[in-house]
Amino acid sequence: MIDTALWHLELKNYWVTFLRFIFPANCLLCHQTLLLDEAVLCSSCFDHLPRLKHPQCQKCALEIPPYHHAATNVCQDCRNEKRFFDQGTAFYRYQDGMKTLMRAAKFNGMPWAFKVFKPDFQQTLTPLPIAQYDMIVPVPLDWWRVRQRDYNQAHLLAAYLERGGQTPRIRQALLRSRHRQPQSLLNREQRKENLRNLFRVDKKIPVHGKTILLVDDVVTTGATMNECARTLKQHGAKRVDFVALARTVTL
Ligand SMILES: [Zn+2]
Ligand SMILES: [Zn+2]
């Protein structure tokens, strides 16, 4: 008897091969023609994406020098400033190819480009085992950006954390109040001021006593993540951790 599922897979492979033959795809970074089993990036560019090195700050995932880590596993910023999140994880340095790729994905309408990171999200060790979170909350975007872009990349990445039945639900528990100045144009102090009371909790989603995992694409100073965590804790959240795709290394 022919195994129908296998047969379908074969057919799908033929179909993909055929389409690739007619419309060859190129690597988003080096522009070379992709092989049939590659998507978005060629394997060489993918292997060269800058991964964050260990040790990292236990709170905000910033790389810290080993000699510094020996004394404390928390970075200078996390010791000087009140951090409302408990622990965070990130995979890549927000620089070089990573920056180019993320900018292309966000600003040129290529949400599918994020798909190359799905394995990272599926294999990642979140600060707590994933099943221990009550909900996964994507950091919200300005409504006009969602309209412009048609998707929120944080939501897209949150969906990659899916691991069968044990994954907590993705809940849009945070709402973004109004559009402020883009954070990228501001210095550290201005960023903090710009963020004050930017987020609010959706009253329909109770966060009191909950253990929450925030998800975003990139963490720069950690100010946005901190403000999200502050808002959730203000409403009684018990613990707030985060997972981000990339982290800046120098500010
Ligand atoms: Zn390439
Ligand atoms: Zn830190």
Distance of CA 226 from the midpoint of ligand 2 (Å):
11
Which ligand is located closest to the Cα atom of residue 38?
A: 1
Name which of 116, 110, 144, 97 is nearest 37 in CA terms: 116
pLDDT of the residue at 165: 79
pLDDT of the residue at 112: 84
CA atoms of 189 and 187, how far apart (whole Å): 6
Q: What are the domain boundaries of the chain?
A: 1-48, 51-247
pLDDT digits (tens, 9 = 90+) for 231-245: 999 999 999 999 999
Distance of CA 14 from the midpoint of ligand 1 (Å):
24
CA atoms of 68 and 74, how far apart (whole Å): 9
pTM above 0.75, yes or no: yes
Distance of CA 104 from the midpoint of ligand 1 (Å):
14
Placement of tokens 């939501």 in the chain: 155
Which ligand is located closest to the Cα atom of residue 87?
A: 2
pLDDT digits (tens, 9 = 90+) for 102-113: 988 888 778 888
> Is 51-247 in CATH node 3.30.70?
no
SS3 108: coil
pLDDT digits (tens, 9 = 90+) for 32-81: 998 878 888 999 999 999 999 988 999 999 998 877 666 678 998 899 98
What's the mean per-residue pLDDT of the chain?
86
Distance of CA 245 from the midpoint of ligand 2 (Å):
16
pLDDT digits (tens, 9 = 90+) for 136-169: 999 998 766 666 667 788 999 999 998 877 889 9
